[in-house]
Amino acid sequence: ETGVTQSPTHLIKTRGQQVTLRCSSQSGHNTVSWYQQALGQGPQFIFQYYREEENGRGNFPPRFSGLQFPNYSSELNVNALELDDSALYLCASSSGGGAKNIQYFGAGTRLSVL
């Protein structure tokens, strides 16, 4: 187990609603990255937080936003949900960004948008 926990594990929402996903990072890690993984695809980078600041963003619209707290836990918020937002949302903690740092993933939150 990585020590990264995500909640909830499953979530069902309807189109147009808003959702908040939560992630507790591994002890000692100051960086949290969020990924979206559609069925049969690899994880797609949404954004990364380092010491409470957004530190890089992927190709996702502004309705995807996040926060990192002083204890380095993090939230992912998605507004105006669309059907295509249905996916596994993964949180990963690390001791820095980029491929030189190992990412420790949580088990993910499965979001279904109806």
Partner 1 sequence: SQKIEQNSEALNIQEGKTATLTCNYTNYSPAYLQWYRQDPGRGPVFLLLIRENEKEKRKERLKVTFDTTLKQSLFHITASQPADSATYLCALDMANDYKLSFGAGTTVTVRA
* 4 in contact with partner 1 (CB under 8 A): yes
Name the residue nearer to partner 1 (CB basis): 28 or 42: 42
CB 49 within 8 A of CB 109: no
Compute the Cα dihedral for 81, 56, 67, 42 and give only its sign.
positive
N residues, the chain: 114
Q: How far apart are CA 50 and CA 97, in angstroms?
A: 8
Name the minimum Å distance from CB 81 to partner 1: 22
- Contact with partner 1 (CB under 8 A) among 80, 83, 102, 114: 102
CB of 9 or CB of 18, closer to partner 1: 9
- Contact track, partner 1, 29-68, x by CB under 8 A: ----x-x----xxxxxx--x-x----xx-x----------
Q: Which residues contact 51 (CB under 8 A, 6 or more apart)?
A: 30, 68
CB of 20 or CB of 105, closer to partner 1: 105
Q: Give me 10's structure tokens.
A: 């499953």
> Given the complex with partner 1, which of 83 and 102 has the nearer CB atom?
102
Six-digit token string for 38: 């559609």
